[in-house]
Amino acid sequence: MRSITKEIFFKIFSQNSDLVQLDFKGISSIRISSYEAFIYATITGSGYLDNLVMPFTPKGLMKIFQAEDNLNLVTGLWDKFHPYYTPRKIAEVRDYIATGDKYLIPIEFKNELDYHDKIREIFHKQDFPGQFLIQRIEDNKKGKGLESLIEYFACEFFKANGYLVDNQIPLSQAYGSPDWIAISTDGAEFGRLRKQGFYLFELAIPSLFGERDIAINSARQTLGNSIVGEVKVTASNSTSQLNKYLSTEFFDSGVLCFTDRFVPDNSQAAIAFFNTDWKFKFEPDRQLNRFIDEKRYEKYLHFILLNLKIYQLSSLPDELILSALSIRNFSEIKSKTDFVRQMSDLDIESILDIS
């Protein structure tokens, strides 16, 4: 299985995106808008080089609930029934997040000392702390620690095909968190978002980051109503974990993702991979049966729509959120049950009208 080096990193972007590679102050980088940088950092965990101790990343901060069957809030997008780490509030504290283009820089390193030496070399070349977005490429790990990069391009592929996408969204404790999911938006319940592709948390990004980059009416093929993916950067058989996700009966198709075209023994699952030119490719599954149970899928879709409404609402200033919820203060939300009811009662169209 091929590894992704610094040079290959740039090639992957040239083959699979419109983002431009350039030399910025003598550093090979990819220029990326504040909007897309926030999405990329949320998926991959890449850090904004705002300091040399622990560069900030929004990864993990966009989560809402503990699991699909456990609607307790985690400290993330909301906390104790009020907006907390929303992109808007993050930008209020870290104004560089929504300011100007960023420069995505892959850093290859052998150990943490080597990593810190390399980011120290480039830190003061920024126009402002946080202008550089650092992608770690860890030479001491199998696959260079880049599973999340494949998650990003899998999400980008299905977003472009008109799917709602996300990574690491938790199922119940028994099943874990899939590397990525893709849900068809071809349903009346999505309103004006029908047949449009977007990251679920993307709806929480306010206009101050730039124009929303939803893949409008881009659905070109039917790949299934709900799809779940498992990513590996080594040639290993990951069908058992994928089958665990499929056993929820929420998904009608599962995808195994690798850096190369690889079909595990006796697997009939769909596969996604980079071809010899590092172009992302998808091959549908070869099995006739589907794993989805319509009633269980409807329950899961209800959970996804609940998240969607909360993300939509979270893009707004607090005063508009309070107005949409018809309350004067967040302290009026007294319990988890009250919170879920308030959010479930919201209408996608009415939130879009406010936005």
From residue 3, how far is each of 108, 158, 255 by CA, in Å?
A: 12, 23, 20
Residue 216, number of CB atoms within 10 A of its CB: 12
**Predicted TM-score (pTM) of this structure:** 0.95
Residue 211, number of CB atoms within 10 A of its CB: 8
Residue type, 322: L
Structure tokens at 29: 């980088």
Structure tokens at 121: 């070399």
SS3 193: helix
Structure tokens at 328: 């004067």
Closest alpha carbon to 90 in 198, 203, 206: 206
18 burial type by CB count under 10 A (0-12 exposed, 13-18 middle, 19+ buried): exposed
Residues β-bridged to residue 227: 182, 253
In eight-state DSSP terms, residue 332 is: G
pLDDT at site 100: 94
Q: Which residue has the tokens 């901060």?
A: 61
Residue 330, number of CB atoms within 10 A of its CB: 16
In eight-state DSSP terms, residue 191 is: G
Structure tokens at 235: 């040639």
On whether the CB atoms of residues 354 and 321 are closer than 8 A, the answer is no
218 burial type by CB count under 10 A (0-12 exposed, 13-18 middle, 19+ buried): middle
Pairing of strands 163-166, 198-199: parallel
Pairing of strands 163-166, 180-184: antiparallel
Residues across the chain: 355
58 burial type by CB count under 10 A (0-12 exposed, 13-18 middle, 19+ buried): buried
Q: Which residue has the tokens 């009250």?
A: 338
On whether the CB atoms of residues 354 and 197 are closer than 8 A, the answer is no
Name the phi and psi angles at 276, rounded to 5: -60, -25
Q: What does the pLDDT profile of the chain (355 residues) look like in tens digits? A: 899 999 999 999 999 999 989 999 999 999 999 999 999 999 999 999 999 999 999 999 999 999 999 999 999 999 999 999 999 999 999 999 999 999 999 999 999 999 999 999 999 999 999 999 999 999 998 889 999 999 999 999 999 999 999 999 999 989 999 999 999 999 999 999 999 999 999 999 999 999 888 876 655 556 788 999 999 988 777 888 999 999 999 998 999 999 999 988 777 889 999 999 999 999 988 665 577 899 999 999 999 999 999 999 999 999 999 999 999 999 999 999 999 999 999 999 999 988 7
Structure tokens at 211: 């124009």
pLDDT at site 286: 67
Q: Which residue has the tokens 């058992």?
A: 240
